[in-house]
Amino acid sequence: MRRVGRFRKYLSGRLLLIAGLISFLGAAVFSILSIVSDSASATACLFMAVVLVTLALLALFSAPHVESANLIERARWLIQDGQFEAALSRLNRAAQLSPRRAETYTMRSAAYAGMGQLDLAVEDAGRAVQIAPRQPGPRLTRARLYSYQGLHEEAIDDLRTAIREKPDWTAGYLELAQLHIKMQDYDSSLATLRDLSLQTKSEETRYESLMMAGWVYEEKLKDLDGAIATYTRAIPIQPDRKIGYLRRAYAYRTRGDLYQAAEDLLRAAQRAPTPEDDGQYHSLRAVCYGRRYTITGDERDLAAWIDALEQSVREDAPSFSEQSRQWLQMIRESHDGAVRSLMGRPPTSEIFPN
């Protein structure tokens, strides 16, 4: 798909130039025919000449913009591959072809940032903002650069300006919430996440905003009641997702409510798979049963844990399958202390990316 997309865009720019030249030639031919033909034929030939000239002008005026888009797309792939200097040469050419295209400067800002030239990166992000002040993308780019430089207030101003222009801009709310967390302004972070939850129409976004708010209560404010209440609001929104139950179970366990923690772990283990579980569904179930076993000591939970691990070894993606194989080996070698220690830790984004 990547090669096809590149070829298609590369060909489009060249075709427009060729089409423009051919149209001009066709217009010239019809102009000559209009001179040598009778009255009726001359009118038709003249009409065709005008049409072809119009098409030629459209093609030739469009060609630089299409070629610019082609160069930007190729630069995007180069940046993703870490080839920043190669990307920069293409973006410089794109800026010459289409100097009022904000995307060019946003992308070139990323290339400069990858090369460590942050001042140039901020300058280009600023150009993109000037060209497209109502688009959120350029402001997000500049806000991230400001934040990296420690200019947090400037970053917040950019994000708030973009959110005012686009009140349902999920990425902006999440970036602003994370920036407030970085500044240890947890109340502002929670307020931002509440605003996002109210503005968005996406259930997934509402779920994510509540999960992040619960994490702020739990990890930053050490408010377990607030965390549990927030996770409880999130869970019904997407009841098959596991992380809500897992986070609430850990908060219950920390608070000393072991029965509630064990019940949440069972609920998570019994939920249907979701897209976020792809390649790790049985591994997640195994973690739920394993954590539950460290609470209950019930042999049925141990059996369910082992069964889920064996299914993970057979069916999950290689990285999770190997992790499950190691867990099975640890259980069979009766490293009970290590097992209980690991299973008592809070859920992490590496293990539970959903």
Quick: pLDDT tens for 266-282: 999 999 999 999 999 99
What is the predicted pLDDT for the residue at 165? 92
Q: Read off the pLDDT of residues 146-181 as tens digits, 9 standing for 90 and up.
A: 999 999 999 999 999 999 999 999 999 999 999 999
> Which of these, 223, 125, 213, lies nearest to 174 by C-alpha position?
213
Please compute the mean of the pLDDT values over residues 308-315 and round it to a whole number. Answer: 96
Select, from the ranges 7-11, 19-23, 95-99, 299-303, the one with the highest average predicted confidence (pLDDT): 299-303
Instruction: Give residue 337's pLDDT.
Output: 54
Q: Is 134 helix (H, G, I), strand (E, B) or coil?
A: coil
CATH code reported for the domain at 167-237: 1.25.40.10
Percentage with pLDDT > 70 across the chain: 75
> Which architecture does CATH list for 1-6+60-166?
Alpha Horseshoe (1.25)
Tokens of 13: 């720019």
Contacts of 346-349 spanning 24+ positions with Cβ under 8 A: 346/247, 346/250, 347/243, 347/246, 347/247, 347/250
Mean pLDDT score of the chain, rounded to an integer?
83
Write out pLDDT tens, residues 121-130: 999 999 999 9
State the Cα–Cα distance between residues 309 and 206, nearest whole angstrom: 32
- The more confident residue out of 56 and 42 is 42
Pairwise CA distance, residues 232 & 234, whole Å: 5
Q: Which pLDDT score, from 0 to 100, does residue 295 have?
A: 94
pLDDT tens sequence across 217-262: 999 999 999 999 999 999 999 999 999 999 999 999 999 999 999 9
Question: Could you tell me if 290 and 343 are in contact, meaning their C-beta atoms sit under 8 angstroms apart?
Answer: yes
Q: 203-215 and 170-182 are packed helices; what angle lies between their axes, rounded to 10 degrees?
A: 0
Contact yes or no for 88/76 (Cβ under 8 A)? no
Q: What distances in angstroms separate CA 16 from CA 29, 55, 57, 62, 92, one per listed residue?
A: 20, 10, 10, 7, 22
pLDDT for residue 342: 53
How far is residue 22's CA from residue 24's CA, in Å, rounded to a whole number?
Answer: 5
In this predicted structure, what is the pLDDT of residue 333? 79
Tens digits of residue pLDDT in 68-89 = 788 888 899 999 999 999 999 9
Compute CA distances 280 → 75, 210, 237, 244, 269, whole Å.
Answer: 34, 23, 22, 17, 12
Average pLDDT over residues 126-145: 95
